[in-house]
Amino acid sequence: MLIGLAFAIASMIGNAGAGLLQSAAADETTSRRPLALRPLYLVGLLVDGLAWACTVVALRHLPVFAVQAILGGAIALTALASWAIYGVHLRIRDRLAVTACVLGLATIAASAQDEPPQPLTGVTVLVLYSAVAVLAVAAIAVWRLAAAWPLSLIAGLGFGGTSLAVRALQLPPGVEADVVSLAAQPATYLIVLFWVIGITTYSRALVVGSLPSVTAVFATTEVLAPGLIGIVLLGDRIRDGWLLPFGVGLVVAIVGVVVLAGAPVPAPGRRRRRRHVR
């Protein structure tokens, strides 16, 4: 349990750091130097990869609910760092929305029952691969929109899908990694497909939106979607007596996301480093 908690927290910090790096790269993107060629973006991808590796370890020790809700703490870290480093203005309602997201996600995490996941059934595999196809089509449809929240939503669903697939992997007892057994499982390929959708739409969202609002929609979706799907498809359960707190946390987190999704996007000049005024 402690190992999973430690790796989940490390992943949360890594996700927040990667988001800051990728957002800084997005601010400097031009037609001659696209985002994919920016050094900060590439470093952000590396940090993102390390954070994802921590998530994989955490998911082998904790249920999807708990891990994803801890990752949702990146909302608060990102908002604070964006204000301190880049001077991104947060309205009072935005600050309250960030608080609502964090409190709601923490309640959802506390409601999770720690149990091993069930193996994927044929129906579950079909549902997840269908979800990949739907997300891919949706990503293409919203790619050129000026609003960031649809892209953030799809990114959250994409990375949430990777968590579900990792959680569903069935490894032989005493074996941490076996290439043959991994290659034989549909969940392995789902991890790759969901990850590609998640990273591409998240990167695009950072180009058209502000980091705090993008992170809030992305992180909360990444928590809620796999958590709910895990209950239905992987046998994850809500702790006895925690159904009401779970419902309250769900509503509070969703309200926070709706508010942050409507937050105004700061002009490029307002995303630069803060200057202290005497």
Residue 278 in domain: no
Lowest mean per-residue pLDDT among 86-90, 93-97, 219-223: 86-90
pLDDT tens figures, 164-195: 888 777 766 555 556 677 777 888 899 999 99
Around Cβ 87, how many Cβ atoms within 10 Å? 15
Residue 145 in domain: yes
3-state secondary structure of 237: strand
Domain that holds residue 158: 2-267
3-state secondary structure of 114: coil
Query: What is the residue-wise DSSP string for 141-202?
Result: HHTT-S-SHHHHHHHHHHHHHHHHHHHH--PPTT-S--HHHHHT-HHHHHHHHHHHHHHHHH
pLDDT value of position 130:
95
Q: Whole-angstrom Cα distance, residue 196 to residue 47?
A: 16
pLDDT tens figures, 200-209: 998 899 888 8
Residue 275 in domain: no
Residue 29 in domain: yes
Q: Whole-angstrom Cα distance, residue 204 to residue 141?
A: 13
pLDDT tens figures, 248-265: 988 888 787 777 666 655
Which residue matches tokens 């994989």?
Answer: 56
Residue 273 in domain: no
As for how many domains the chain has, the answer is: 1
pLDDT tens figures, 188-231: 899 999 999 998 998 899 888 877 778 778 877 887 788 788 77
